[in-house]
Amino acid sequence: MKASRKPLRHLSALIDAGLVEAQHSAALTEATQRYAVAITPAMTALIDRGDPADPIARQFVPDPAECQRRPGETADPIGDFAHSPVDGIVHRYPDRVLLKLTHLCAVYCRFCFRREMIGPAARGLDKEGLERAFAYIAAHPEIWEVILTGGDPLILSPRRLKQAVARLAAIPHLAVIRVHTRVPVADPARITPALVRALKAPGKATYVVLHANHPRELTAAARSACARIVDAGIPMLSQSVLLRGVNDDPQTLAALMRAFVACRIKPYYLHHADLAPGTAHLRTTIEEGQDLMRGLHGRVSGLCQPTYVLDIPGGHGKSPIGPTYLVADSPGRYRIEDFNGGIHCYPPTT
Q: What's the pLDDT score for residue 1?
A: 34
Q: Classify strands 265-272 and 326-330 as parallel, antiparallel or unpaired.
A: unpaired
Q: What's the pLDDT score for residue 2?
A: 43
Give 123's pLDDT tier (boundaries 50, 70, 90): confident
Strand partners, 183: none
Q: How would you list the strands of the sheet with 89-93, edge to edge?
A: 89-93, 96-100, 145-149, 176-181, 205-211, 236-242, 265-272, 307-311, 318-320
Among 67, 69, 318, 334, the active-site one is 318
Q: Which domains does the chain have, with CATH numbers?
A: 11-67 (no CATH), 81-320 (3.20.20.70)
299 is catalytic: no
Among 80, 112, 187, 263, the active-site one is 112
Amino acid letter, residue 315: G
**pTM of the model as a whole:** 0.95
Q: What's the pLDDT score for residue 238?
A: 98
Mean of all residue pLDDT scores within the chain? 95
User: Tens digit of pLDDT for each residue in 198-234?
Assistant: 999 999 999 999 999 999 999 999 999 999 999 999 9
**Once rounded to an integer, what is the mean pLDDT over residues 325-345?**
93
Query: Is the alpha carbon torsion for 226, 227, 232, 233 positive or negative?
Result: positive
Q: What percent of the chain has pLDDT over 70?
A: 99
126 is catalytic: no
96 is catalytic: yes
Spatial CA neighbour of 269 closest among 318, 322, 309: 309
92 is catalytic: yes
User: Tens digit of pLDDT for each residue in 141-184?
Assistant: 999 999 999 899 999 999 999 999 999 999 999 999 999 999 99
Q: Give the separation between CA 105 and CA 150, rounded to whole angstroms.
A: 8
User: Tens digit of pLDDT for each residue in 130-140?
Assistant: 999 999 999 99
Among 76, 100, 109, 226, the active-site one is 109
